[in-house]
């Protein structure tokens, strides 16, 4: 059976690509802006095959180099402009317009299918036509969907809870499935079926990691993490601490030997919990993990039973990267950033195998 050809854009460390390679696809082009992600990609995919197809730099420099008529175009255009945790500038920002630019270049590249991934926030922009709602960017979704139609493609999209596919975290992502207008494929057949096996809890997952890998690389905690991380119970974050009495806070700090730490923030003699309450959160070992986001690698989750941030390997395992997949970067933040931005390879493989079923039918 021939290998089906894949063009990968906004490739990152290669989470999507790894899933498609595992399913038997052939990557013929990949493009990524961040040099540390490219280093990671070269290290890991270079062990599998020739990676001369990888282009490092702004994708706008490479549109004319992309091979024409691949079987599938995949990618995750930058999501910060659509995320509820970001500026919500949508198509008003250069990064946000890259989604639209990708759609416009479908006409040039002419893939048979495309799969594009983005955050849940892309579905939640309000309608500016309602005068009672605050000013904000135009709802990008109708603009994107209309652009897809204008370049000769049909699209279906769906919000997926990745934990329903065995991914051990509460991660929701929107997947856009597209095909050329006139192709007889029923797009909804590409939607992967849920895997009803329960995703592993943090406890199960972390105890499965070989001991020599668990804490091999971990970010140096900031002052807030050093003081408040150790006193969090499983599943708690700073917002939880704000609800505790001063007596309980003193008790917890004393138990950890931190009561006299001069760096404890105080206001009018009382302990002051920092405002950004989600920035320090201890994982609950009895549950699946929350979304790995990390805010550029700065707000890494706290370990469920040790007083440190989760390690690069632990974060990568939550994202379903294999143990031998290594991350490179100038600092820890870059490595965590790559992990958080990736599509979990296990879910990518589920998407790839759904598409493979269609391609091998020849329909």
Contacting residues for 302 by C-beta, under 8 A, at least 6 apart: 225, 229, 232, 280, 281, 282, 283, 308, 309, 310
Name residues of the chain where pLDDT drops below 70: 1, 79-96, 125-138, 196, 215, 276-278, 296-298, 362-363
pLDDT at 196: 65
Alpha helices in 71-169 (DSSP H): 94-109, 140-150
Distance, in Å, from the CA atom of 285 to the CA atom of 45, rounded to the nearest integer, reads: 32
Distance, in Å, from the CA atom of 10 to the CA atom of 22, rounded to the nearest integer, reads: 19
Total Cβ atoms within 10 A of residue 79: 22
Catalytic positions, written as ranges: 79
Distance, in Å, from the CA atom of 275 to the CA atom of 285, rounded to the nearest integer, reads: 25
Q: How far is CA 328 from CA 294, 296, 332, 339, in A?
A: 17, 15, 9, 11
Domains and their CATH numbers in the chain: 5-194+342-361 (3.40.50.150), 202-330 (no CATH)
pLDDT at 293: 83
The dihedrals phi and psi of 240, each to the nearest 5 degrees, come to -65, -45
Q: How far is CA 49 from CA 21, 41, 328, 330, 349, in A?
A: 10, 11, 19, 25, 18
**pTM score, whole prediction:** 0.91
Exposed e or buried b per residue across 123-159, where buried means at least 16 C-beta atoms within 10 angstroms of its C-beta: eebeeeeeeeeeeebebbbeebeebbeebebbbebee
Closest listed residue to residue 31, CA positions, set 107, 83, 101: 101
Q: What is the pLDDT of residues 31-84, one digit of tens each?
A: 999 999 999 999 999 999 999 999 999 999 999 999 999 999 999 887 665 555
Distance, in Å, from the CA atom of 32 to the CA atom of 234, rounded to the nearest integer, reads: 37
pLDDT at 363: 45
């Amino acid at each position: 059976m021939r290998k089906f050809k894949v063009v990968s854009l906004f490739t990152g460390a290669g989470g999507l690509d790894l899933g498609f390679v595992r399913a038997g696809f052939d990557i013929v082009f990949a493009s990524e802006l961040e040099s540390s992600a490219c280093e990671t990609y070269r290290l890991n995919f270079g062990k599998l095959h020739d990676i001369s197809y990888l282009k490092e730099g702004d994708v706008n420099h490479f549109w004319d180099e992309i091979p024409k008529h691949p079987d599938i175009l995949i990618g995750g255009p930058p999501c910060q402009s659509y995320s509820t945790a970001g500026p919500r500038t949508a198509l008003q920002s250069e990064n946000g317009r890259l989604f639209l630019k990708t759609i416009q270049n479908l006409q040039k590249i002419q893939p048979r299918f495309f799969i594009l991934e983005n955050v849940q926030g892309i579905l939640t922009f309000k309608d500016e036509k309602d005068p009672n709602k605050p000013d904000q960017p135009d709802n990008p979704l109708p603009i994107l969907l209309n652009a897809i139609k204008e370049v000769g493609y049909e699209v279906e999209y769906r919000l997926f809870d990745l934990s329903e596919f065995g991914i051990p975290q509460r991660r929701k992502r929107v997947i856009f499935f597209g095909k050329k207008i006139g192709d007889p494929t029923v797009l909804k057949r590409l939607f992967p079926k849920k895997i009803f096996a329960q995703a592993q809890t943090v406890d199960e997952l972390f105890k499965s990691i070989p001991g020599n890998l668990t804490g091999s690389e971990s970010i140096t905690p900031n002052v807030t993490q050093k003081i408040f991380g150790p006193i969090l119970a499983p599943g708690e974050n700073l917002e939880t601490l704000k609800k505790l009495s001063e007596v309980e806070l003193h008790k917890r700090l004393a138990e950890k030997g931190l009561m006299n730490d001069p760096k404890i923030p105080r206001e009018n003699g009382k302990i002051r919990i920092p405002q950004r309450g989600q920035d320090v959160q201890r994982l609950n070992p009895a549950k699946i993990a929350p979304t790995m986001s990390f805010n550029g690698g700065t707000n890494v989750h706290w370990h469920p039973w040790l007083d440190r941030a989760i390690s690069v390997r632990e974060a990568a395992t939550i994202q379903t990267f294999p143990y031998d997949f290594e991350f490179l970067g100038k600092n820890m933040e870059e490595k965590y950033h790559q992990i958080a931005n990736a599509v979990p390879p296990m879910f990518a493989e589920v998407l790839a195998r759904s598409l493979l079923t269609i391609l091998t039918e020849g329909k």
